[in-house]
Every structure is written in structure tokens, then in C-alpha cells.
Amino acid sequence: MSYTVWAAKLSVVVEAARVPLGLALLLAERIRADLGVRTPPPVGAVGAFAIGMGDAAVSAARRAAGAAAQRAVALGRRPASSAVWAGRIFLEQPGVARATAPVRRAGFALANRADVTVVRGRLVADAARADALAFLRAQSDSGMAWVRGEVLPTIIDDLVIDPKVRELAVEQAHGALSDAAREVRHRSAGADARLEARVHRLFGMLARHEPSP
Amino acid sequence: MSLPHEAYAGLVSRLVALAIDIAAVAAGAAVAVGLAVGGSQMMIRETPGWVGPVVGVAIGLLPVVYFSASWWIVGQTPGGMAMGIAVRNGGGEPLGLARSILRTVFGLAFAPIWLLGMVLVLVDARRRGLIDVACGTVVVYVPQPHADDLPVSEP
């Protein structure tokens, strides 16, 4: 198997693994949201995941580089303390500096590689999340199309021929008509009383029968 | 029977109910004419001469049967049902057949007087029109069952 074919197959595997990774990230975001866990925005969570992967890569690199390289990296990163400061003074002596230069270069190279790995991990996580969202949308659309085309007509047919549903619909219509009729009667009865009162006032009749309010 | 003044139906409700009844009778007459003429045209492709008189008699009897049967059987015409009013005798009981026919014939024969006599509703203590005074009837509001009083059907 040539290197090109092997790389192509590996690329396919990596692409296929992005959707499950994105789904896992979305699931983690959803669970955290459901639990009410106060976390940074989703990108931050994804970044944290990518940083973890980067940290693992850095650890592996550090194990491979050996204890000397780790000490060099620590010297370059940690805040200066008096003891370290003294050590650095010693290391910066021309002779010592020349002797330890290869080790320090190797440490800086490892640190840079770790940072690149973290950034690359974040990018991969973002891309995986986007792929997962697109995958979910596509699946949702196809699922909704299937529901609209296959499931809903069957449910509607079942509802239409269900005598209980028909009875409910008839009761609803009957209730609406009853309410409308009751309102009409109420208003006409009020109009009866108002008209009678006006006629009594018009002709100066004493209100023998005061209409009820 | 003595009811409070507000228990008797007023002029507006009665006129609206009467308008509904007139519309129903007119619709029934139109259907009768349509069925008789259209049916004869469809079946024998002509309208026999006797169809006209028969339909005329039927249309003449239609309002009599409509009002008499409604007041006698249920005490309410369809218009009265819509407006929630009913015709009762002086004792508050439903009308008998004879009084129903008498009220119908009196009202239809003297329809203008029936309508003009409605003005009496505005001043009468029991809101009676002229036809009510003549026939010994009253028109009352039918108590409406409250929604909470309706029986609940078993699931």
C-alpha cells in the first residue's frame, strides 16, 4: 500500500470521526445547560476539550524529550524565584549557555509544538461541532419530511374516523353556539330594559318597573 | 302566577324572534315551491295546473302550522328558542292546542294590529302585547342553564 493511499484512507477515517466528536461536544454542552452548570460559552467548552487533547500531546512530547528538556521548559516558563533566578544567572554564563543551548532550543521547540497542537485541537473541535450541527440539521430535515409524508396523514386519518374525536369536535361546536346564543340573549334582554326605560322617560312616565341593572 | 317584571320578555327580544320566525317560514315556503315546481319539471317536464293551488294552500297553512305547533308542543318557536323566550298562558303553563291556534290565527289575520299592538309591551306591567291581552298569554324569558349546572357526561 503506497503512502498516498494510506493517507487518503486515514483522512477518511479522520473525517468520519469528526461527526461523533462533534456530537459528543454538543451532548456535553446540552447536559451542562440542562444541569444549569455555569460554563463559558460553547466555544470555550470546546476549547477546553481541545486544550486537554493538547495537554496530552504536550505530556507525551515531554515524556519523549526526557527530564532535561522538561527542566529547560520549566525554567523558561515559571516565574522567577530566587533559587531559579540564581540558576538562570548560572546558566546564562557564556560557557554554560553555550553548553546548554541545544537543550534550551529543544525545550522551546517542544513548547511551541504543544501550543500549535492546542490551537490545532481547537480548530478541529470547532470544525467537528459544525459538522455535527450540519449532520443533525440534515437528519432532522429528512426526519421531518418522513413524518410529514408518512406519519401525519395516517394520524390524521385515525383522528378523523375516531368517534371520540368527532364527539369532542361536535361538543366544541355546540358549546361555541351555546355561548353565542347566550350572549345574544343577554344583550337583547339588556336592550329590552333600556328601550323600555327610554320610552318611560320620553313620555314622562314614572318608572313603575325599574329595569334591573 | 306572579313573576317579576324583568321575567317577561321585552320588545326587542320579541321582535328579533319574530323576524327569525318570518325568515324561517319564508325559507320553508321557498323550499316548498322549489320542490313542487322543480320536482314536477324534473319528473314530467311540465308543471301541472293543480300544483299551483296545492302549493298555495300549503304555503298558506305553513305559518299556521309552524306557530301553532311550536307554541303547543314546546311553547317556543325556533325564533323564540334562539332568543330564549317562550309563550305561556296566564298561569305560566304551556299553551294548549286551542289557545295556540287562536293566538296564531289572531296574529296572522291581524298581522298589522299584532305588530302595532307590540308597542303595548313597553308600558304593560307584564310586558304583554295586544295579542297577549286578547289571548290571555304572556311571553317570558326562559331561564338559561348555567354552565356549572349542566350535567357532566361520563367519560
Report how far Cα A4 is from the mean position of its chain's Cα atoms. Answer: 37
Greater confidence (B88 vs A21) lies with: B88
What is the ipTM metric for this complex? 0.77
Whether A141 has its CB under 8 Å from any CB of chain B: the answer is no
Whether B123 has its CB under 8 Å from any CB of chain A: the answer is yes
- Suggest the residue from B11, B126, B150 to mutate for an interface test with chain A (most A CBs closer than 10 A): B11
Check B6 against A211: CB less than 8 A apart. Answer: yes
The beta-strand segments (E) located in chain A are: none
Check A188 against B141: CB less than 8 A apart. Answer: no
The arithmetic mean of pLDDT across residues A188-203, rounded, is 90
Per the CB < 8 A criterion, the answer to whether A18 and A124 are in contact is: yes
Chain A nearest C-alpha distance from B104 (Å): 24
**CA nearest A192: which of B117, B81, B15, B18?**
B15
Chain B nearest C-alpha distance from A19 (Å): 50
* Strand, helix or coil for residue B9: coil
Distance between CA A36 and CA A33 in Å, rounded?
5
In order of A179, A200, A212, the CA distances from B83 in angstroms are: 13, 24, 19
Residue A13 confidence (pLDDT): 63
The arithmetic mean of pLDDT across residues A145-164, rounded, is 89
Average pLDDT, chain A: 75
Q: In chain B, what residues touch A206 (CB-CB under 8 Å)?
A: none
The arithmetic mean of pLDDT across residues A155-162, rounded, is 86
Residue A25 confidence (pLDDT): 77
Check A195 against B9: CB less than 8 A apart. Answer: no
Judge whether residue A163 has pLDDT over 50: yes
Residue A17 confidence (pLDDT): 75
Instruction: Give the length of chain B.
Output: 155
Check A185 against B123: CB less than 8 A apart. Answer: no
Residue A50 makes CB contacts below 8 A (sequence gap 6+) with A118, A121, A122, A123, A124, A125
Greater confidence (A109 vs A9) lies with: A109
Whether A212 has its CB under 8 Å from any CB of chain B: the answer is yes
Residue B102 confidence (pLDDT): 94
Render pLDDT for A99-116 as a digit per residue (tens, 0 to 9).
878 887 888 888 887 677
Residue B59's identity, in one-letter code, is I
Residue A173 confidence (pLDDT): 93
Q: Which of B11, B13, B82 sits opposite A181 (nearest CB)?
A: B82
Render pLDDT for A47-95 as a digit per residue (tens, 0 to 9).
655 545 655 665 565 566 555 555 655 665 555 456 667 777 777 778 8
* A7 — pLDDT class (breaks 50, 70, 90): low
Q: Which of A4-18, A64-78, A141-155, B136-150 has the highest mean predicted lDDT (pLDDT)?
A: A141-155
**CA nearest A122: which of A193, A194, A46?**
A46
Residue A15 confidence (pLDDT): 67
Show pLDDT as tens, one digit a residue, over chain B (155 residues): 578 888 999 999 999 999 999 999 999 999 988 888 888 888 887 777 888 888 889 888 999 999 999 999 999 999 999 999 999 998 888 999 999 999 999 999 999 998 999 999 998 989 999 999 999 999 999 987 665 555 444 44
- Suggest the residue from B8, B13, B15, B83 to mutate for an interface test with chain A (most A CBs closer than 10 A): B13
Check B122 against A209: CB less than 8 A apart. Answer: no
